[in-house]
Amino acid sequence: MKPPTGGPTIGPTRPGMLSQAIASTSWLRGVTRAWVAAAIGGILGGAVGNVLDRLRLGAVVDFIDVDVGIWHWPAFNVADSAITVAVAAIALDALFSAKE
């Protein structure tokens, strides 16, 4: 059932959100370092921010636009930054941490 405004349907996303919460909880249980848990939180927080934008506005709003001289970086938002930094942190942890 669509809302009266013709916006996106929210009902079918509830099972997906529940399964994501369960998967995220099990992923966090295996984390032994606090900063890796924070990075996972950055990924989840960024994803939730983008999903909320999509549900509320119908699109993700990219509002940070960087130009340096003739170079132009694609537009992005805070959620995109959180996801990117967190993935880089987890990748560095995987590459350089001692095997347990």
- pLDDT, tens digit, 9 for 90 and up, residues 61-95: 888 888 888 988 888 888 999 999 999 999 999 89
- 18: DSSP letter: H
How much is the pTM? 0.69
* Domain extents in the chain: 32-96
Which residues does residue 73 pair with via DSSP β-bridges, in sequence order? 66
The residues carrying an active-site annotation are: 62, 80
Task: Say which residues have a Cβ less than 8 Å from residue 7's Cβ, sequence separation at least 6.
Answer: 55, 58
Place of tokens 């349907």: 9
